[in-house]
Structure 1
């Protein structure tokens, strides 16, 4: 039964190969058009902020390092605060505070005192400018909010690092288009097979009619030049 199923599957693929290839090609073509001509390229700019103790002691205790790591989470929340976003939006009238916040990503590695600030924008220079402005304003405000810690710029954003778009991901979109085309072909094949009531095999005839097959007539080939017509009969009883 398993051999028959595999054989039948290959027969279906062979029968609808043109439909399968056409759907896959059209899906990939549509995804290519949307990706390269419709979607806007997005650029990223990143800065890094270092969190340390406010004192200048060279002997940093492990407890102090752990406290700095815990403060990173607090600073990450402050970085995306509404007040800070509104201050940034004043310098960029084309963008609202919510739009800037949606395109701002604040992350930190586990057991790290470094905060990564990433800004996404359709213009690389704007992304770099906003990332640096957020970092500068955050450092200025954090000194007034929390006295026990010191925050400083570990690295700034530069246009040289943001010239290449970070999105959209062309490969993923093309793969989605290919899979969508194959899925559409699958749906069409399933519907065609479900509504196809013709009997194609001896087994299906016996199963539906519940009658034994007495004989079969094979395909009769047309005679060629100087050839003979052959007819093969096979009787079963």
Structure 2
């Protein structure tokens, strides 16, 4: 037989485990805040741009659509070349970096808008000044080595160089976002655990549990009497008995 659960039962479970759910949410948010502010190392981004634009031999000639299309198609090739060892090994050597081309590649991101001749090279590093140097050096070395790699093709021009910001803002971590995600995860974990504990709880605590789990009708209920109540009733009984005894003795003396 399939078991169904009503909205009332859901709210009762949540109400019963509300403190536990709140503790999960608060704990997850606290952990996320501590990790974001005190554990994770802030990282910064710095970007440099270059443009792919075929140089004209005759200054009186103008670019046509095919030239622009060729430059745009070359960008996909340049995106691969700029992250290759031929470029990055020279960058690491010139800047005396403590790592090689493979580690440097993970810090590098090359992107371009669709049908655009402008390519953006973005470097992420805990040191913003170093990220700026890597971005500018990578674009410069790529520009210098492009004619050699592409057999005389010289169509790369630096559009803008990366600069060190006065008050840089780290791109990661993002404490607000991390805390918000932690709150959601904590709430989900707390609610899930609340329903799991309720599902594993087989104790019978109410009359409804007897009817639901045992399938037996309730004929009567025996109230729970505390010891204090029992002593109070006994004292009251003795007091009443003494009063009745005193009244009977007075009646006998009168007779």
TM-score by length of 1: 0.83
Deviation of 1:149 after TM superposition, in Å, equals 4.5
Task: Give 1 or 2 for the bigger CA radius of gyration.
Answer: 2
Evaluate the alpha carbon distance shift between residue 162 and residue 112 of structure 1 in structure 2; reply closer, same or farther with a 3 A threshold: farther
Deviation of 1:189 after TM superposition, in Å, equals 1.7
Evaluate the alpha carbon distance shift between residue 161 and residue 150 of structure 1 in structure 2; reply closer, same or farther with a 3 A threshold: farther
CA root-mean-square deviation: 2.6
CA contact (8 A) 1:49 1:114 kept: yes
> Which ranges of structure 2 fall in alignment gaps of 5 or more residues?
230-255
The number of equivalent residue pairs is: 221
Match of 1:207 in 2: 212
Deviation of 1:27 after TM superposition, in Å, equals 0.7
Q: Quote the Cα distance in structure 2 between the aligned partners of 1:47 and 1:209.
A: 74
> Which ranges of structure 1 fall in alignment gaps of 5 or more residues?
224-237
CA contact (8 A) 2:146 2:153 kept: no
1:60-99 counterparts in 2 under 5 A?
60-90=63-93, 91-99=95-103
TM-score by length of 2: 0.78
Looking at secondary structure, tell me which structure has more helix per residue: 2
Evaluate the alpha carbon distance shift between residue 4 and residue 196 of structure 1 in structure 2; reply closer, same or farther with a 3 A threshold: closer
Looking at secondary structure, tell me which structure has more strand per residue: 1
Mean CA deviation greater in 174-183 or 24-33: 174-183
Q: Quote the Cα distance in structure 1 between the aligned partners of 2:223 and 2:120.
A: 74
CA contact (8 A) 2:14 2:191 kept: no
Match of 1:120 in 2: 124
CA contact (8 A) 2:92 2:100 kept: yes
Does residue 189 (structure 1) correspond to residue 194 (structure 2)? The answer is yes
Deviation of 1:150 after TM superposition, in Å, equals 1.0
Q: Which stretches of structure 1, 4 residues or more, deviate above 3 A after TM superposition? A: 200-204, 215-220
SS of the residue aligned with 1:135?
A: helix
Match of 2:8 in 1: 7
Q: Quote the Cα distance in structure 2 between the aligned partners of 1:207 and 1:183.
A: 28
